Amino acid sequence: MPPLYLAIFLGYSDIAMDLIATFGDSLSYGGPDGQNALHIAALRSKDLTQIVIDERPDLRNAPDNSGSIPLHFAASAGVEGVTRLLLLGEGSTGINMADDNGMRPIHVAASVGAMDAVRALLDGDNHPTPRDNRGRTFLHVAVENKKTDVVKFVCGNPTFTNILNMKDNDGNTALHQAVKNRDESIFGHLVGNRDVELNLFNGVGYTPLDLASKIKIEKAFSPQNPTEWMIRVLAHSGAYFSARRRDLRFGTTENNQQVLPLAPTTKENSVLVASSLIATVTFAAAFTMPGSYKIGGDPMAGTPELGRRYGFKVFLVADILAFYCSVAATFSLAEYGDRDDVDPLVRHIYARRAVWLFHIALRSVIVAFALGVSVVMWDISVMTTVIVGIAAPGLVVYGNEALAHDLRFIRVMYCRFGFSPAWNLYPSTSSYLEWTTRRLKSFSWTLVSDMFKLFWTYVLIFAVAIYAMEIVQCCHKRKVPTLVLKLDFAKAFDTVIWDSLQTIMRARGFPDRWCAWINSLLSSSRTAVLVNGTPGPWFTCRKGLRQGDPLSPYLFLLVADVLQQMIQKDPVIKHPISSNQPCPVLQYADYTLILVSADAASVQRLKDLLDAFALATGLHINFHKSTVVPMHVESSILQQCISILGCRQEQFPQSYLGLPLSHEKLKQASFTPMISKADKYLSGWKASLLNTMGRAVLADSVLGNLLVYAMGALRLPKGTLAALEGKRRTFVWTGSEHASGAHCLFAWEQVCVPKELGGLGLKNLSVQNQCLLLKLIHRLHHPGASSWARWARQHVCLASLDGEV
């Protein structure tokens, strides 16, 4: 054995350093079985590993005769810091190197439960899904080796959701393997994560519930069979059996005989002996009462001295219960335990019944003993009585497998269906997110300003647009100098600063626990960039809200509402019409419209507030993409305001929330972009390949719905409706761009008649427009309508709308 290898093997760091300093490059770093000095150093300590790496960093990727590199050794030892040390520096590719069995370092770390090594190997951009020669991920290896800490770490980290349901070469997922191992703890962690699929098939067509039922039959005579608890959990979690006949579901033996339970084990014999002893003791205790008997000339002679005490009466009940249960358990095992003429399943039933009775008898004996001591010692030593009374409940609960299974069952169900008590398993990120979103949605409307509340309950997007039209037209009619500023946020969701969000939540009264939940959900996010459709390396996010996340819109509104509060509470920025009213700020998600008085002081103050808001929250404004539309503003003042804001000037109509916004009555030209969408659809349809009824379906379901959103908010010009009707009529009858009266087989009014009355059932656009506006008026008059309707009733005389649309 080379000197350096031997010195490191014995842990002599000073000798190793002397050898390196003395012999330099001529020193041998080799060892037995193809190992080198770094292999053995990784098993010993971080200091020895650092010494070898400083001299020979190239040894990090050198394999031994079994294909193991030093990183495999470090992962198996789990010495703190060694794994991270081997991963540092350039040229370290060992994380993806496999030994001769296909085991990568992460598999080795998971097999021994070395959590420090597991975390180091999975940190950063490392890919967590390599497989060994058997197709196993590191989660399979951890489950197979019963490393609960690794499984708990994976189930509690959303980064590894993609490996929870991966299969090995035999088709088994981690849940299949947990059922095979009959490991209740690992099984509970997996089922408690809602991202784990419960009904996947393995290579032989078994679901986890099939496998648990099969193992239950094979291990039927085990007195503590955890698979029964697993079956109960799976059944209540929505798991299913496979689509097989029940008599063939669990397979047959090689002789085509159905699998039968195993023979009784010696554990039943132990229960038989113990229950016999309990029966003997309790029988003797029934006639040897604590406290002796009354004697002499007492008329109650022969009765127990302590018979009138309640504790004695309970003692007697517990003693009798223990005697009866132990006798029944003894009879069940003695009569049916060893008889070959009894069906094995019947023996199994009696064996389980005997075990159940034995546990009742054992706990009854403990209770009887504690009560007997308490009754006798109460007048002599109260402390002894208290100690016995405290110890007895612990002994009764200790070893109660049924109670433990019930507690585990409740815990897993809480996790599976989205709750998270403090003593619970790690819930899945999806269930945690759904629960948090429901809670936040239920009261978040109380946290935003009044303008947000107008459109929060029964959210109507076009209600915001209608309000914008009303206030713009009002400013125009009164000829007040007004600037209509439409803001464009730069990647709104992606730039929110998390610290700012936490500060806002605390200011809004969120408890620290809620803030910690939100911070945990945000900090666990990871992102990958798609390159030619393939995701690149994953990296950890440091700011921003995830788009598509159901929680993100509510968090964004909490941040965006700060801008509205800042503007409305500022004494310099005023309403264009009334100086006593706050400046109107219309916000729907990141669509923001501000109407400000056209004076340099107000505009400068608004610009300062927008910059301060961007600096505090991360929501920066793209002023070069934002627009300003002036109304009744002098050119000199307008140029001064535009130079302050840095926005470009535009004219009405403007598009806001998908509807044209104008200070005047909307004309047909304002809806031309909407009509042009019909041409895009028509150009892509192969109308000549469709019959008349096929074209009628497309004309009604697609072309007829192009203007539905606008119809719900505005009374469209007749020319706009006629233009779309003409395109629908042409498409239905000819499928081309033009159609004359000769091509029309029926009058269009007849086509729009319901099918029951002889028409084709296409909607009449003019009638549809009127109906949708009537629905809007219904919302205004309905007492249980939205906050927007309640606001409208306070500011508009609805009586003037009677009889009008």
Q: Please report where in the chains the tokens 């042009």 appear, as a residue.
A: 676
**pLDDT number for residue 802:** 45
**pLDDT number for residue 756:** 83
Number of other residues whose CB lies within 10 A of the CB of residue 102: 15
Q: What is the pTM of this model?
A: 0.47
Cα torsion through 98, 100, 101, 107, rounded to 10: -30
Contact (Cβ atoms closer than 8 angstroms) between residue 370 and residue 337: no
Contact (Cβ atoms closer than 8 angstroms) between residue 79 and residue 45: yes
Pairwise CA distance, residues 70 & 36, whole Å: 8
CA-angle at 175, arms to 171 and 177, nearest 5°: 65
**pLDDT number for residue 426:** 40
pLDDT digits (tens, 9 = 90+) for 15-71: 888 888 888 888 888 888 888 888 888 888 888 888 888 888 888 888 889 888 888
Contact (Cβ atoms closer than 8 angstroms) between residue 166 and residue 173: yes
Angle between helices 692-701 and 718-733 (to 10 degrees): 150
Pairwise CA distance, residues 69 & 613, whole Å: 53
pLDDT digits (tens, 9 = 90+) for 244-303: 655 554 444 444 444 444 455 566 777 778 888 888 888 887 777 665 656 555 565 556
Structural domain boundaries of the chain? 3-246, 266-380, 433-661, 668-801
Closest CA to 649 of 528, 781, 483, 773: 483
Residue spans of alpha helices (H) in 478-569: 498-507, 512-523, 552-568
Strand partners, 489: 621
Strand partners, 527: 539
DSSP 701-751: HTGGGTTHHHHTT----HHHHHHHHHHHHHHHHTSSS---GGG-SS-HHHH
**pLDDT number for residue 145:** 92
Number of other residues whose CB lies within 10 A of the CB of residue 186: 25
Closest CA to 592 of 492, 513, 705, 695: 492
Q: Please report where in the chains the tokens 């546990």 appear, as a residue.
A: 359
**pLDDT number for residue 577:** 85
Q: Which residues of the chain have pLDDT under 70?
A: 89-93, 124-128, 216-227, 243-267, 289-310, 336-345, 348, 378-381, 394-408, 411, 414-460, 684, 686-689, 737-743, 782-805
Q: Which two tokens stand for residue 47?
A: 């200091």
SS3 of 586, please? strand
Residues in the chain: 805
**pLDDT number for residue 19:** 87
SS3 of 485, please? strand
**pLDDT number for residue 722:** 87
Pairwise CA distance, residues 280 & 701, whole Å: 85
Q: Which two tokens stand for residue 643?
A: 């130079």
Pairwise CA distance, residues 576 & 474, whole Å: 10
Q: Under the phi-then-psi rule, with left for phi > 0, alpha for psi from -120 to 50, and beta for the rest, what region is 251?
A: left
CATH 2.30.29.30 for domain 3-246: no
Pairwise CA distance, residues 740 & 759, whole Å: 20
**pLDDT number for residue 441:** 56
